[in-house]
Amino acid sequence: MAETFKGIAASNGIAIAKAYLLVDPDLSFEQQTIDDVAAEQARVDAAFSASSDDLTKIKEKAAQNLGETEAQVFEAHLMVLADPELTGAIKQNIADNKVNAEQAVKDVTDMYIGMFEAMTDNAYMQERAADIRDVTKRIMSHLLNVALPNPALIDEEVVLIARDLTPSDTAQLDRQFVKGILTDVGGRTAHSAIMARTLEIPAVVGTNKATQIPAGTTVIVDGLTGDFIIDPSADQIAEYQAAGDKYLAERAEWAKLKDEASVSADGKEFVIGANIGAPKDMPGVLENGAEGVGLYRTEFLYMESDHLPTEDEQFESYKTVLEQMNGKPVTVRTMDIGGDKELSYWKLPKEENPFLGYRAIRISLDQQDIFRTQLRALLRASAYGNLWIMFPMIATLGEFRQAKAIYTEEREKLAGEGVDMGEVKLGIMIEIPAAAMIADKFAKEVDFFSIGTNDLIGYTMAADRGNDKLAYLYQPYNPAILRLINNVIDAAHAEGKFAAMCGEMAGDPVALPILLGMGLDEFSMSAPSILQARSLMKKLSTADMAELAKKALDAETNDEVKALVESTVNA
């Protein structure tokens, strides 16, 4: 019987397909004493062989979706499986102790993992521990004859269901088969939601019950409203197919604006840019007529690798994006690792509150060898386009000045080496209220601001954006947030500087009219949102929106602002 539930609309569109659960199975087992040693050893060989077949397919799929460099992580896993010392130790354990294959695998792999993890001063060995842990899970799944779900192996149309999706999970999705996403947790600003928008996969998150849906059940995902229907009736399927067709027709109309400028109804021009995570996102940027890349999240270079990316590896990625943008500005955010963005091969210190801890520019200023490598790669790439560099998580003037000084040192070194470089603008991401409050001081020293509303809202409202119980405090239209944003824009313009926004709020159809009225210069968003935003912008007069912005700043609540926008825009 059909049941309708509500989650958080995270990525536009409508999907109808069977549920595919991306949930780790129960891999528990009991130790047993065995008599037939040869039979248990043969089970080990079969499990290793099947795991190798799996990973070969996954590697090929990852190479298609992500590129050869990102697929190399699976090569490391294949090397673990091919290690004769590992299989030899497992088989010897079976022979010596007469234990079942599962126990032998656990004993030996636990030993290796513990040994490698103890080498805290050797990042390479700690990488091997992570590889062995991942491979062990796959071997165990074959020994226990339990399917291990993997998004890269999906070969039919499905709605992907998970408690949550990591950025690497989402990066492996094939849009040909993954038609929709449902998760138990998360919000619109979760990284899985942002990636879903980039991939143009309809998504509803924060459902609290997605993983209770039986595999194979037909599900409707309405990424426009946040509704999802389990086991829909034929009438409901027909209704949502029609709604999906209507949405696609609207997108076809928006597509006609691909090569047009972003202009308000009264003729004022703005910039609508795209947020990306890797060069592989560029087709969507170009197809949607972006006028720049307003945010290149370089942390994905680090997260999708099994090692710290080298200067040359980074240079090639940055150069690719700059060349493809053909002179349009590309704003690159330096490494924003920390918080919920971890690296398997580089263990950051455990913190009680990592979102308020050692992350982003704080790591870069502390681990200067990593920071300098990235800056050198960026400076070398600057010869191939219009590069803007943005430092994240800046709280004080001292942090910006120190980052700029390091940048200047590396630029001078490269100049001394005879390296060609282009002009580069230096700016900061405004995501900490302290920086927003003294934006007038920063504006005298930076070339531009880019407002990161995802974290700015969380820090201002003192609410973790990943906590479902606090979802009601994600209030992008709260007058407190709007006043901070307005202060930043006014401070930038007072010094003749450029004010951009790269948070998800920039593509929000409720927020856009207010931001237009405040005079925001650039709106950067997930590529699929660009044409819809351009269409809306063409219908709005900046003079009318300036009056709306004044009323919004004087309002008392998030809901009051939302109602003001709806009544003004729809009048």
Catalytic residues: 191, 502
CA-based nearest residue to 431, from 403, 449, 453: 453
CA-based nearest residue to 13, from 248, 281, 275: 248
Query: For residue 271, what are the β-bridge partners?
Result: 522
Question: Rounded distance, CA 200 to CA 205, Å?
Answer: 15
Q: How far is CA 192 from the centre of its chain?
A: 6
**At a CB cut-off of 8 Å and minimum separation 6, what does 28 contact?**
none
What angle do helix axes 37-66 and 123-143 make, rounded to 10 degrees?
A: 120
H-run or E-run covering 550: helix 542-553
Sign (positive/negative) of CA torsion 105, 108, 112, 113?
Answer: positive
Between β-strands 293-297 and 158-162, what pairing exists: parallel, antiparallel or unpaired? Answer: unpaired
Question: Rounded distance, CA 506 to CA 464, Å?
Answer: 20
Question: Rounded distance, CA 568 to CA 131, Å?
Answer: 55
Strand order in 158-162's β-sheet?
Answer: 3-6, 227-230, 218-222, 14-21, 158-162, 178-183, 203-205, 8-11
Kindly provide the b/e burial profile for residues 81-105, where b requires at least 16 CB atoms within 10 angstroms of the residue's own CB: beeeebbebbbebbeeeebbbbbbb
Give the tokens for residue 419. Answer: 């390296």
Question: Rounded distance, CA 190 to CA 196, Å?
Answer: 10
The answer to whether 180 and 159 are in contact (CB under 8 A) is: yes
Give the tokens for residue 272. Answer: 């609508």
Question: Rounded distance, CA 79 to CA 50, Å?
Answer: 14
Residue 188 CA: distances (Å) to CA of 48, 122, 166, 499, 567? 40, 37, 14, 23, 24
Give the tokens for residue 330. Answer: 């590309």
Q: Is 81 helix (H, G, I), strand (E, B) or coil?
A: helix
Residue 555 CA: distances (Å) to CA of 76, 264, 459, 483? 56, 25, 21, 11
CA-based nearest residue to 315, from 331, 298, 293: 298
CA-based nearest residue to 151, from 196, 109, 204: 196
Strand locations in 385-515 (E): 386-391, 424-430, 448-451, 498-501
The answer to whether 101 and 92 are in contact (CB under 8 A) is: no
Question: Rounded distance, CA 558 to CA 571, Å?
Answer: 20
